[in-house]
Amino acid sequence: MDLFKKLENRPSPLGEFTSDGYGYYTFPKLEGPLGPKMKFNGKDVVVWSINDYLGIGANPDIREVDHQAAKKHTFSVPMGARLMTGNSDQHEALERELADFVHKPHALLLNYGYQGIMSVIHALVDRNDFLIYDELSHACIVDGKQLAMSDKSVYQHNDIESLEKQLKRATSRSKENSSILVVTEGVFGMTGDLGKLKEIIALKEKYDFRLLVDDAHGLGTLGDDGSGTGTHLGVQDGIDIYFGTFAKSVALIGAFVATEPRVVEFLKANARSQIFAKSLPLAIVESARERIKLIRANPQWREKLWENTLRLRNGLREIGYNVLPSESPVTPVLTEGSTDLCTTIMRELRENHGVFVSGVAYPVVPRGMVLIRLIPMASHTDKHIDKTLNAFEAIKPIVFQNVSEKISA
């Protein structure tokens, strides 16, 4: 059968939304300066769907740094992969600063978060090893698992008994040259709960394994110095491989992995997505250095982020919404309903109330449920939050219609 013909009929849960819903439910175009208020379809909207947690993307000082760095270097320099022609003093300085920030001895700069962690997982384990990961792991971890040649198993989300069962299985089947890698997230991006890092690390007393933590949503938002979930929970030393991305709090492209020097040396020569890909442009590297510096020097940004998070979250609960018990700024609102309800909520808020939110339904969440995920930022104001709470109050008859009908029946 012709491949292209087959693709026409291959089912996809997002298919209808990337065709009929293109430009609205998928691939929407938020326009204007990055911030808590942007334009969508020509209208001003309060935005709760971007991950610029600290509001750093629109910071005037950062904008000037970006301007000067691009003017000085252009986005072409350096050309080539770092292994061959793409290295610089700036790249190495950023690695040292990142390692210091997250309290690890060494760090390796990566071009992208998604491809970076896929490549790291692929490099770390071989066909004699065992890879064990949380069932709610982000797609990048799942795709990294697909690349890995190791034995793979999944444990139920944040279920330590389930994890221990998989550790027992791996240990019983291991050979002399077998190793075990456990992978979890610091903050789970859809639900906002934290990985049970303390409990996982405690299992090291019984089992021989290494722990990789993807802390995309924890970096910059958690810890008394913004260094992430491990610091927040007091277990950063127990994380063997710490992975952070610039795509959230740093509001940039790029990522890094921080760990022991011997592991960094190995990854330099074995992380294929870095060996065979162009190095991060110097303009981005210089900007990343300044952004990390400013994040460390301005804890009030993180404090404001949490103030906004709690104000939004408490307000939603007070007007009757089921806000999941998130331990991070991620604010998930869960209700019963169909995919149609999900799209109705998004359209109603965007068109009639000037509030831009994103929602998901099955298969991202169980069938019959709708999850609206709000991402607070330090740059949101009280007026933005009040406008959003008023909008959610106004749409309650739509959101809770299904529940009311069930009670009446």
CATH number of 78-280: 3.40.640.10
- Distances in Å between the Cα of 21 and the Cα atoms of 16, 180, 338, 354, 382 are 7, 43, 16, 19, 32
Q: How confident is the model at residue 13 (pLDDT cuts 50, 70, 90)?
A: low
Per-residue model confidence (pLDDT) at position 15: 63
Q: Please say whether the beta carbons of 101 and 227 come within 8 A.
A: yes
With beta carbons less than 8 A apart as the criterion, state whether 114 and 269 touch.
no
Q: Is the backbone peptide bond immediately before 28 cis, with ω within 30 degrees of 0?
A: no
Is 105 a residue whose pLDDT tops 80? yes
What tokens does 312 get? 């939004």
Q: How confident is the model over 383-406, as pLDDT tens digits?
A: 999 999 999 999 999 998 755 444
Give the homologous superfamily in CATH for domain 3-58+299-408: Aspartate Aminotransferase, domain 1 (3.90.1150.10)
Partnered with residue 257 across adjacent β-strands are 108, 243
Q: Which residues pair with 256 in a beta bridge?
A: 109, 244
What's the chain's length in residues? 409
Question: CA 173 → CA 151, 180, 210, 401, distances in Å?
Answer: 10, 11, 17, 52
Confidence of residue 21 (pLDDT cuts 50, 70, 90): confident
- Amino acid identity of residue 13, one-letter, is P
Mean pLDDT of the chain: 93
**Which residue type sits at 84?**
M
What pLDDT is stored for residue 279 in this prediction?
Answer: 95
Kind and range of the H or E element at 211? strand 210-214
According to the model, what pLDDT value does residue 318 have?
A: 97
Q: Is the pLDDT of residue 365 over 90?
A: no
User: Would you state the pLDDT for residue 408?
Assistant: 40
Q: What pLDDT, on the 0 to 100 scale, is given for residue 402?
A: 59
Q: What is the pLDDT of residue 409?
A: 41
Amino acid type, 228: G
pLDDT band (50, 70, 90) for residue 364: confident
Residue spans per domain, the chain = 3-58+299-408, 78-280
pLDDT for the residue 363: 74
Q: Write out pLDDT tens, residues 142-181.
A: 999 999 999 999 999 999 999 999 999 999 999 999 999 9
- Kindly state the tokens that stand for 242: 């710490």
At residue 123, φ and ψ (nearest 5 deg) are: -75, -35
Q: How many helices (H) and strands (E) would you count in the chain?
A: 17, 14
**pLDDT score of 5 more than 90:** no
Q: Which tens digits make up the pLDDT trace of 30-72?
A: 999 999 999 999 999 999 999 999 999 989 999 999 999 999 9
